[in-house]
Structure 1
Amino acid sequence: MNLAKRCHQIKLILTDVDGVLTDGGVVLDNQGVETKRFSIRDGQGIRLWQQAGGRVGIVTGRSSQIVKLRARELDIEILRQGVKDKLPMVEAIAEEQEVTLDQIAYVGDDLPDLAPIQRVGLGVAVGDAAEELRTAAAYTTSVPGGAGALRELIEVILKNTDRWESTIRRYSA
């Protein structure tokens, strides 16, 4: 199936965090406090997708208060942290959200994301993902994780479904 057809069926985007919404680095201070750096462009992309009627969720292997705060800031209601086996979680989310796997785009960067990428309607690897993911993915972003990869995907979906112009109209003079 070509990319445009895959894009037309997407209702829900699920994404990993570390290596997708961030560059994969974690900073720990002397007190053990963790910080992450998120791309504002990804946040704007999430808002554009939501305004176009799409849903977004996070499925991540690690647990972090920072991720919970970022999800809340972006009105992301689907948040699953500490997930060791991601495919069963993606399947459970699909059932809960009343969508099929074909209606899901999943974005990942490393081997724990491989099974979801292989099973959903639009499997996406970030530009610096593990080779196995880039090989399995229907789409690989031109930018690495943490540099607007999710925003790029959202723009690709909206353009392939003829929703880009109506989505950005509110930003034009």
Structure 2
Amino acid sequence: MQSDTIIAQPIRLILSDVDGVLTDGSLTIDNSGVESKTFHVRDGTAIKLWQKCGFTFGLLTARNSQIVKLRAAELGIEIVRQGFSEKLSVARDIFAQLRVTAAETCYVGDDLQDLPLLYEVGLPVAVCDAATEVIDSAKWITKATGGRGAVRELIERLLKAKGLWEDCLPPRSIQGMANRD
């Protein structure tokens, strides 16, 4: 079994599914047809840390949603591909655009349509409440469920394995008074 350091070292790009990974997979649609999703703030904080460290984060989802577009803009995520159930070819286009290889990519998913891309990337990750087949295909499985900090957990693990976690945190003066005497 490879160490986290060896697995994390080449990773430059994280691609993530949305529903079931950044959300709990629930779709709420009111009587007017307005859809809502719930995102965990800690996932957003970690995505910003990943980007601050010079890495790229992207979203790749089978559904189309204005909410996803808004959340991506809020987090400064430039790679957003929606409405693609066949994610592998879209991901390959992203690899070419960013000049990143599949081996330098982590993909986190939760359901069957994620399998072809999980088989392709260097670091396939499943949220712990993913479909059995997705869990079976993953190198890493989060302890957190989708929409409950799984992406935060993944990014922290990657940055710690790369030796960058402390460097990416806000300065101690901003972190608070945790080390007061």
- TM class, shorter-chain normalised? over 0.9
- Matched with 2:114 is 113
Rounded Cα–Cα distance in structure 1 between residues aligned with 2:110 and 2:89: 18
1:35 Cα deviation after fit: 0.3
Are 1:172 and 2:175 matched, yes or no?
yes
Question: Counterpart amino acid of 1:159?
Answer: K
1:65 Cα deviation after fit: 0.3
Distance 1:117 1:65, change over 3 A: same
Rounded Cα–Cα distance in structure 2 between residues aligned with 1:69 and 1:169: 25
Are 1:56 and 2:57 matched, yes or no?
yes
Q: Secondary structure of 1:99's partner?
A: coil
Rounded Cα–Cα distance in structure 2 between residues aligned with 1:110 and 1:24: 10
Rounded Cα–Cα distance in structure 1 between residues aligned with 2:12 and 2:119: 17
- Matched with 1:124 is 125
Q: Which consecutive unaligned segments of at least 5 residues does structure 1 have?
A: none
Q: Deviations over 1:75-129 (max 9, x none)?
A: 0000100002011111111011100001100000000111111110100000100
TM-score by length of 1: 0.97
Rounded Cα–Cα distance in structure 2 between residues aligned with 1:135 and 1:67: 28
Rounded Cα–Cα distance in structure 2 between residues aligned with 1:114 and 1:131: 11
- Matched with 1:45 is 46
Rounded Cα–Cα distance in structure 1 between residues aligned with 2:68 and 2:166: 31
Aligned CA-pair RMSD: 1.1
Are 1:82 and 2:83 matched, yes or no?
yes
Identity %: 50
**Aligned length, in residue pairs:** 173
- Matched with 1:9 is 10
Rounded Cα–Cα distance in structure 2 between residues aligned with 1:132 and 1:95: 28
- Matched with 1:92 is 93
- Matched with 2:158 is 157
Computing the radius of gyration over CA atoms, which structure comes out larger, 1 or 2?
2
- Matched with 1:135 is 136
Rounded Cα–Cα distance in structure 1 between residues aligned with 2:159 and 2:6: 12
1:4 Cα deviation after fit: 2.1
Rounded Cα–Cα distance in structure 2 between residues aligned with 1:130 and 1:158: 26
Give runs of ≥4 in structure 1 deviating > 4 Å: none
Rounded Cα–Cα distance in structure 2 between residues aligned with 1:154 and 1:105: 10
Question: Counterpart amino acid of 2:116?
Answer: A
1:169 Cα deviation after fit: 4.8
1:48 Cα deviation after fit: 0.8
Rounded Cα–Cα distance in structure 2 between residues aligned with 1:169 and 1:72: 22
1:162 Cα deviation after fit: 0.4
